[in-house]
């Protein structure tokens, strides 16, 4: 008889997504990016009352979790939602909520 691990890969992935979404600024960034194809980080600094370095840290957290992707277009960086991972995060959250 095969014993299934208690903590599955999907649990680890959901935890990583949830950690990345665990700050109001990051949620705002995700909502902003979901409404448009892409966004330059400079555009976000114009509407958010935080330092550029702080925004960079938030963007890095979202990027490291795989929720967004960035492309350098010197001197700016263009960010977009990683649609595949965002869909996975939505499905995992839905699965958790519907328990």
What pLDDT sits at residue 13?
Answer: 96
Residues in the chain, total:
99
What pLDDT sits at residue 1?
Answer: 66
Q: For 2-28, what is each residue's pLDDT tens digit? A: 767 788 899 999 999 999 999 999 999
For the domain covering 10-94, report its CATH number: 1.10.10.10
Q: For 42-97, what is each residue's pLDDT tens digit? A: 888 888 889 989 999 999 999 999 999 998 888 888 899 999 999 999 999 999 99
Q: Where are the domains of the chain?
A: 10-94
Full-model pTM: 0.86
């Amino acid at each position: 008889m095969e014993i299934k691990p208690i903590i599955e890969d999907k649990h680890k992935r959901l935890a990583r997504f949830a950690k990345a979404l665990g700050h109001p600024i990051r949620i705002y960034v995700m909502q902003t990016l979901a409404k448009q194809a892409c966004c330059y980080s400079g555009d976000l600094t114009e509407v958010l009352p935080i330092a550029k370095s702080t925004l960079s840290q938030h963007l890095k957290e979202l990027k490291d979790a795989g929720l967004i992707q960035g492309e350098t277009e010197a001197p700016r960086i263009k960010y977009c939602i990683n649609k595949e991972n965002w869909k996975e995060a939505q499905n995992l959250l839905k699965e958790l909520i519907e328990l």
